[in-house]
Amino acid sequence: MSATTAHRVAVIGGDGIGPEVTAEALKVVRGAGVIIETTEFDLGGARYLRDGEILSDDTLSQLRAYDAILLGAVGTPEVPPGLIERGLLLRMRFELDLYVNQRPFSGTAPGSSRPHDFVVIRENTEGPYVGEGGVLRKGTPHEVATQGSVNSRMGVERACRYAFEMAMGRRQHLTLVHKTNVLTFAGDLWQRTFNAVAAEFPTVATAYNHVDAACIYFVQDPQRYDVIVTDNLFGDILTDLGGAVSGGIGLASSANLNPARTGPSMFEPVHGSAPDIVGTGKANPVAAILSAALMLDFLGETTAADRIRQACEQPVSGSTSDIGSQIAARVAG
C-alpha cells in the first residue's frame, strides 16, 4: 500500500469514553506517519436519544464506501440495554458480513511466570447471535422462550479457514473450542468442518477443547494456545476471560473482519463505554490504539502496525491523552 494514498476511515467515537480513546488512537496512527482521511459518524446511544437514529439504511450505505471503520464504544445507561448493541454493532457485523472477530492476547497471567501469546478467532455472524427463536404465552406461568444457535457449513468453514491461515503465519497450532459433548448438532457440524479444512493445512497441528475446560486453561495454562477458533457466543465469553488474564480489558483489542473485502472491516476495543469515568482522563486508550494497529494490518500498513504494538509494550502513565501522546511520540519515525 502506498504511503501517499490516504486510507479513508469512518470514525464512530460513540458514547462515554469512546470518543476519548478513539481520538488517541487516531493521534497514534498519524504519529506513525500513516496518511488517513477521516469522517466522523455521530452514532450511539446519545445520537439515538437525540433523534431516534440507531443505524439507518442510508448511513449504512455511506459506511460501505470507506476502507475501514474505527469504533470507540457505544451504549449509555439512559437507553434500554440491547437496543444499540443489536441495532448498531450487530447490524454492522451482519450487514457488512464481518464474519471474523479477531482478538489477540499477550501478557503474563496472574500467578504465572511465563508469558502467553495467542489469538482468538470468533465466528462473528452466526450462532445464538442471529436472533432465531421466540416467545410464547408471554407473561403467563406457562411462558416459553427459545433462542436457537444457527450454524451454517459456509459460515463455519470460512471462520475455520481464516483461523488455519492465521496459524500458518504463526506457530502452526490451532485449537477448536466448542461443547461437542452436549451441543451435538452444532458441535458435529463444527468438528467435521474443522477436520475437513484441516486437511488443507497438513503442517498445522490441531487440538480440541470443550469450552468449560478452555476456561481453566486460559487461567492456568494459556501458553498452550497459538490460535483458537470458536463460535460466536463461546468467543464472546472467552475473550473477556482472555482480556482478564492478559493485563485487563483496558488492553484488549479487536478486529471485526470481512476477509473477502466486499466492504469495510470494523475495529473496536473490547471494552465498553464506561460512563462512570467519562471526562476524567482515566480511560486507558491502549485497547483502542491496539485496535487501530489491527486496522493498519488490514490496510497493508504492517510496519506502522508493528511499531505501534512495540510502543504499547513499554510502560505508559498519566491521563488518557498523556498516554496517547507518549505512544505517538514513540512511533514517530
Q: Residue 139, Cβ neighbours under 10 Å: how many?
A: 7
**Interaction of residue 24 with ligand IPM, rule CB under 6 A:** no
**In terms of C-beta distances under 8 Å and separation of at least 24 residues, what long-range contacts does 76-83 make, across chains too?**
76/15, 76/16, 76/44, 76/45, 76/46, 76/49, 76/273, 76/275, 77/275, 78/45, 78/49, 79/45, 79/48, 79/49, 83/48, 83/54
Residue 10 or 90 with smaller CB distance to ligand IPM: 90
Q: Footprint of Mn ion on this chain (CB under 5 A)?
A: 236
Among residues 99, 162, 179, 226, which one is catalytic?
179
Residue 190 or 234 with smaller CB distance to ligand IPM: 234
User: Site for ligand IPM (CB under 6 A): which residue of 12, 89, 98, 197?
Assistant: 89
Please choose which of Mn ion, ligand IPM, none residue 89 contacts, taking the beta carbon within 5 to 8 angstroms, the exact cut-off set by kind.
ligand IPM
Stretch of 13-21, 24-32, 82-90, 200-208 contacting ligand IPM, by CB under 6 A: 82-90
**Window 229-268: residues binding ligand IPM (CB under 6 A):** 236
Residue 251 or 327 with smaller CB distance to ligand IPM: 251
**Per-residue x/- marks for ligand IPM, 265-304, CB under 6 A?**
-----x----------------------------------
**Interaction of residue 70 with ligand IPM, rule CB under 6 A:** no
The distance of closest approach from Cβ of residue 90 to ligand IPM in the complex, given in angstroms and rounded to an integer, is 6
Q: First-to-last CA distance in the chain?
A: 18
Backbone phi, psi, residue 111, to 5°: 85, -5
Residues listed for the chain: 333
Helix axis angle, 153-168 relative to 184-198, nearest 10°? Answer: 40
CA 206 remoteness from chain centre? 23
Give the residue from 104, 78, 124 showing the smallest Cα distance to 256: 124
Among residues 48, 129, 162, 225, which one is catalytic?
129
Residue type, 97: D
**Interaction of residue 130 with ligand IPM, rule CB under 6 A:** no
Which helix (H) or strand (E) element contains residue 235? helix 232-244
Gyration radius of the chain over CA positions: 20
Q: Residue 156, Cβ neighbours under 10 Å: how many?
A: 24
Q: Is 240 annotated as catalytic?
A: yes
Among residues 188, 221, 240, 276, which one is catalytic?
240
Q: Is 306 annotated as catalytic?
A: no
Q: Is 66 annotated as catalytic?
A: no
Q: Is 48 annotated as catalytic?
A: no
Q: Is 179 annotated as catalytic?
A: yes
The distance of closest approach from Cβ of residue 79 to ligand IPM in the complex, given in angstroms and rounded to an integer, is 13
Residues that bind ligand IPM (CB under 6 A): 85, 89-90, 236, 270
Active-site positions read 129, 179, 212, 236, 240
